[in-house]
Amino acid sequence: MYAQENKGEAGLDQGDAADRLTRLWVANHEDVTRFVARRLDSALVDDAVSETFLVAWRRLEDVPDDARPWLFGVARNVVATRTRSEGRWRALGVRMARQPVEVSPSADDVAIDRLELEDAWLRLTAGEREVIALVAWDGLTTEQAARVLGLRPSTFSVRLTRARRHLVEVLDAMAHRQPVPSRKV
Amino acid sequence: MHSPVMKAVAELDPARGLRSPGTPHDAALEAILHTRRRVPLHTRAARPALVSAGLAVAAGVAIVVASPWSTPTAFATWTRVPSQVTSALPAGLAGECAPVTRWVDDDAPGLPIVEVPVRPVLTEVRGDYTYVVQAGEDAWSECLATVGAAPGAWDVVENAARLPEPLDEDLPAADDVLTYQLGTTSWTSGAAGAGALTSAFGRAGSDVTAIEVILEDGATAQASVDGGWWAVWAPGAEALTGEARLTLRDGSRRDVTLEVRTTH
């Protein structure tokens, strides 16, 4: 992460601005691309990423030192807008079933079945998937994730706790279901 | 992230193997660097302006950019309870909030502009500010107006979005609400500098008589509810927490989380 110095508009000439955006691009392009790819049709990812950095370019003075949550917040709005406008939303994790994933036994030696986890994931609400994904997939701290959603950290923590609890409850319910039916994936 | 479940979820990340490093020589970066940094502000009057509107027009969509670090410097007369709620547009504001939204239709030949008419469905007043929600078949717009510097003039900012399906296709249950918009808009107001507001609106079920939203400072604000619609806005970039309490026709109350609907 590059340390950034916030300057007023008058103090950031075109050369400085170009240099700063270039550093933002190099430092964050891959993370922003992954963030968008998790949430949007693959055909739209590149455009959405460019649009995100275009917003950053036009609002460089607003980009904080910790730029990644800010960029994710912008990207989230770009994705939401394209979703509402074009109807190409891909719910978080809808493509998981096609991913080759190895899930190791957890620390308490209780193996979590991959297919059951996928199934449970898709039973969560979009909001629950969002808060979990920001931490588990996007690698944000609670405070950073709260910034992405425009929430207080305490509010985000409550939502994350609820979402995790719901996920565990769904997994528990599956574990107790007898007999286990064949599951569409 | 010490939870075993969270670790297992992390391993399901569909973008885990995606590699897309950015370099200083990327063509997409070059294209951005060759654009103007400051876009013309989209405003009917000289002062308040929706910062993101220029980009929205270019992309054919509306964008409200989250700006959690802005500091509200305006809206001094804003009130937690609206002083007026109506479905009609104030006479002086007629024509200021655009009755048509325009969209770029990539599939259309020639001039690919699609016009979607919208009409006022809810108007509320807080202090010097009038906030109007408009809706059309598959589009909505929001319009915030305050009296301008010149006599009889209004300063107006607008935001709009088009949805993939008609608005009436999905309505909330009688004891629930549907959220179309929950986001932050940055704007400027003359020499006062940049400010930000958070707005939210949507449809209200037939049994919902009042909505109280929780603000970032822990206080509450009363949303407007009228004709099956609800709306609220507050100064600040993260003014609304997304938590709300509905009051139903039978006097009972119900806590909900406001979330913009998505299509799956």
Could you tell me the mean pLDDT of each successive run of 10 residues in chain B, 264 residues long?
80 86 94 71 31 30 32 67 85 78 64 79 90 92 76 72 84 94 62 63 96 90 96 87 94 92 45
Min distance B152 CA to chain A CA atoms (Å): 33
Our count of domains for chain B comes to 1
| Beta-sheet strand order (sheet of B154-162) | B84-86, B119-126, B129-135, B139-147, B154-162
Confidence grade of residue A119 (pLDDT, cut at 50, 70, 90): confident
Q: Residue B22's closest chain A neighbor by CA?
A: A26
3-state DSSP helix/strand/coil percent for chain A, to nearest 5? Answer: 65, 0, 35
Q: Are B161 and B140 in contact (CB under 8 A)?
A: yes
How much is the average pLDDT of A75-84? 71
Amino acid found at B223: A
A185 located within any domain: no
Min distance B129 CA to chain A CA atoms (Å): 23
- The C-alpha R_g of chain A, in whole angstroms, comes to 19
Residues 6+ apart with CB under 8 A from A86: A44, B164
Q: Are B61 and A53 in contact (CB under 8 A)?
A: no
Q: How far is CA A55 from the centre of its chain?
A: 18
Check pLDDT > 70 for residue A111. no
A76 located within any domain: yes
Are B14 and A74 within 8 A, CB to CB? no
* Number of A–B residue contacts, CB under 8 Å: 214
B249 located within any domain: yes
pLDDT for residue B201? 94
pLDDT for residue B94? 74
Q: Residue A18's closest chain B neighbor by CA?
A: B33
CATH code of the domain in which A158 resides: 1.10.10.10
| Whether residues A171 and A101 fall in one domain | yes
Burial annotation B27-47 (CB, 10 A radius, 16+ → b, else e): ebbeebbeeebebebbbbbeb
User: Please, what is the average pLDDT of chain A?
Assistant: 75
Q: Are B247 and B204 in contact (CB under 8 A)?
A: no
pLDDT for residue A83? 57
Min distance B201 CA to chain A CA atoms (Å): 15
Write down the ipTM of this complex: 0.77
Taking residue B171's Cβ as centre, other Cβ atoms within 10 Å add up to 14
- What percentage of chain A exceeds 70 in pLDDT? 71
| Whether residues A156 and A130 fall in one domain | yes
The domain in which residue A129 lies consists of: 96-175
Q: Residue A149's closest chain B neighbor by CA?
A: B66
Q: Residue B41's closest chain A neighbor by CA?
A: A58
Min distance A20 CA to chain B CA atoms (Å): 11
B135 located within any domain: yes
pLDDT for residue A71? 93
The domain in which residue B197 lies consists of: 36-257
pLDDT for residue B35? 81
Min distance B203 CA to chain A CA atoms (Å): 16
Are A103 and B8 within 8 A, CB to CB? yes
CATH code of the domain in which A79 resides: 1.10.1740.10
| Whether residues A20 and A80 fall in one domain | yes
pLDDT for residue A9? 40
B30 located within any domain: no
B232 located within any domain: yes
- For residues B127 and B80, give the distance between their C-alpha atoms in angstroms, rounded to a whole number: 9
| Nearest Cβ partner for A99 among B12, B237, B263 | B12
Are A103 and B37 within 8 A, CB to CB? no
- For residues A55 and B66, give the distance between their C-alpha atoms in angstroms, rounded to a whole number: 11
Q: Are B127 and B103 in contact (CB under 8 A)?
A: no
How much is the average pLDDT of A140-149? 91
Instruction: Name every chain B residue with its beta carbon within 8 A of the beta carbon of A159.
Output: 257
| Whether residues A113 and A49 fall in one domain | no
| Whether residues A68 and A106 fall in one domain | no
How much is the average pLDDT of A145-169? 90
pLDDT digits (tens, 9 = 90+) for A5-59: 333 344 477 888 999 999 999 999 999 999 999 888 787 889 889 989 988 888 8
Q: How far is CA A181 from CA A95, A116, A167, A169, A175, in A?
A: 22, 11, 19, 18, 11
Q: Residue A150's closest chain B neighbor by CA?
A: B238
A148 located within any domain: yes
Instruction: Name every chain A residue with its beta carbon within 8 A of the beta carbon of B61.
Output: 81-82, 84-85
Burial annotation A97-117 (CB, 10 A radius, 16+ → b, else e): bebebebeeeeeeeebbbebb
- The C-alpha R_g of chain B, in whole angstroms, comes to 20
pLDDT for residue B107? 58
A184 located within any domain: no
Q: Which of A81, A88, A166 to mutate to test the interface with B (most CBs of B within 10 A)?
A: A81
Our count of domains for chain A comes to 2
Are B163 and A95 within 8 A, CB to CB? no
